[in-house]
């Protein structure tokens, strides 16, 4: 019984060692860089497979999901992206405006100011749900994937462009508008 177990252990170790040696000598061949979109990409997997990043980069598929970007001028601050996010990595705070404040590139009317629009890429699971629900398509996935940092706070991207003074001013305008509206109802 002990002899049989010893032989099986020795046989398994030899098989593993032979596989390692096979890969060692196979890696001496230099692998040519292939486009990942080609049909035979997975057929030619012999040779060195390490990509010398950042000098060499793997080709990025068109449907890849990487860094989020927001075109804040096209954002209507509808909050659908934050509601669709399963990990709550999008934080949005809006300030109402008494009148329309402009139009987006697709013609949608903007009635809210984006006081805060933060995306925490450390929490993001790159599902792309936020990009799907956006009615103005202002939130998109880019092909940027190398955002290495030693501080997690560097992965929080702020897309809002309003200063604290502007936010206070817009909130005061909305409060005055609401007060004038209430005063008009009383008369």
Q: Are residues 93 and 112 in the same domain?
A: yes
In Å, how far from its chain's centre is CA 170? 30
Q: Which DSSP symbol is given to 155?
A: G
Output the pLDDT for position 48.
56
Q: Are residues 80 and 136 in the same domain?
A: yes
Q: Say if 131 falls within a structural domain.
A: yes
> Is residue 25 predicted with pLDDT exceeding 80?
no
Output the pLDDT for position 34.
61
Q: Are residues 30 and 80 in the same domain?
A: no
120-136 residue pLDDT tens: 999 999 999 999 999 99
* Averaged pLDDT score across all residues of the chain: 85
Q: Residue 152: CB partners within 8 Å, gap ≥ 6?
A: 122
Q: Which of 66-75, 141-150, 173-182 has the lowest mean pLDDT?
A: 141-150
Q: Would you say 135 and 104 are in contact if contact means Cβ atoms under 8 Å apart?
A: no
């Amino acid at each position: 019984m002990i002899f049989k177990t010893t032989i099986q252990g020795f046989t398994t170790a030899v098989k593993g060692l032979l596989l390692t040696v096979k890969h060692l000598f196979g890696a001496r061949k230099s692998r040519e860089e292939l486009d990942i979109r080609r049909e035979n990409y997975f057929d030619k997997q012999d040779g060195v497979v390490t990509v010398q990043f950042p000098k060499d980069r793997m080709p990025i598929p068109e449907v890849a999901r990487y860094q989020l970007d927001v075109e804040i001028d096209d954002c209507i601050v509808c909050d659908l992206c934050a509601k669709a996010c399963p990990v709550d990595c999008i934080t949005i705070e809006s300030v109402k405006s008494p009148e329309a404040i402009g139009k987006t590139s697709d013609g949608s009317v903007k009635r809210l100011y984006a006081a805060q629009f933060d995306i925490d890429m450390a929490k993001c699971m790159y599902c792309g749900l936020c990009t799907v629900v956006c009615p103005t398509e202002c939130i998109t996935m880019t092909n940027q994937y190398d955002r290495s940092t030693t501080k997690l706070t560097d992965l929080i991207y702020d897309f809002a462009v309003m200063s604290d003074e502007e936010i206070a001013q817009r909130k005061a305008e909305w409060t005055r508008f609401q007060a004038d509206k209430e005063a008009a109802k009383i008369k």
